[in-house]
Structure 1
């Protein structure tokens, strides 16, 4: 039993597999240049879509590819607010009419929370 034990081995941190017969995936080295003129290289798979910008792992500054490719500008969508969606369905005049109608109903006591309605005299029994 003693000959089968792994004495002194860090089981979680060390692999005992050898790399014989293992074929590595094809790779490419992509060079990026920082604004101050320094460059760094990132290794990527051959079939990977290579981005035009990459963050330098040492400094955190974003560099651009040295082969002259320009980053594509992503189209930003206009953020539609609730008001924008409301105006797609109704005109401002229609909205003003609806508001006036609802305010009249609220003031008359037909809609809304009961604690907001003032009643004249309470009936006594």
Structure 2
């Protein structure tokens, strides 16, 4: 069994196929500048949507594109509370009726809370 072992080869880590006859996708390079002064380029496919921000490879901070392209601001919805969602389903008179019913049930029960 030891005779059949492949020593020094990381199986699964490397491909033994050559790149002959393979056409790679067209690429474009986008340059980014980090606030700490680092400059780097990232390769993207020609048809890819290009990001306006990218994590710096050296320090991890957010780098912006060197050509000055800025992304669109995303619209954010205001935070909806439980009360807001409840008010979408019920009116104040309905809520008052439900509260009165529940209070009557508690008052009529023999258990003490």
Same fold (TM over 0.5): yes
TM bucket, shorter chain: 0.7 to 0.9
Q: Which residue of 2 aligns with 1:31?
A: 31
RMSD: 2.1
Unaligned runs of 5+ in 1: 118-125
**TM-score, normalised on structure 1?**
0.73
Shift of the 17–108 alpha-carbon distance from structure 1 to 2, 3 Å rule, reads same
Aligned positions of 1:66-77 closer than 5 A = 66-77=66-77
Whether the aligned pair in 1 keeps the contact of 2:31 and 2:39 (CA below 8 Å) is yes
Unaligned runs of 5+ in 2: none
Shift of the 15–106 alpha-carbon distance from structure 1 to 2, 3 Å rule, reads same
Deviations 1:31-90, CA, capped at 9 Å, x for gaps: 011123331111111111111000012211111111111121111122323211111122
The alignment covers a number of residue pairs equal to 108
Q: How far apart, CA to CA, are the structure 1 residues paired with 2:40 and 2:57?
A: 9
**TM-score, normalised on structure 2?**
0.80
Q: Which has the larger radius of gyration?
A: 1
Aligned residue for 2:69, secondary structure, equals coil
Is 1:92 equivalent to 2:81 in the alignment? no
Q: How far apart, CA to CA, are the structure 2 residues paired with 1:7 and 1:37?
A: 46
Shift of the 101–14 alpha-carbon distance from structure 1 to 2, 3 Å rule, reads closer
Q: Which residue of 2 aligns with 1:16?
A: 16
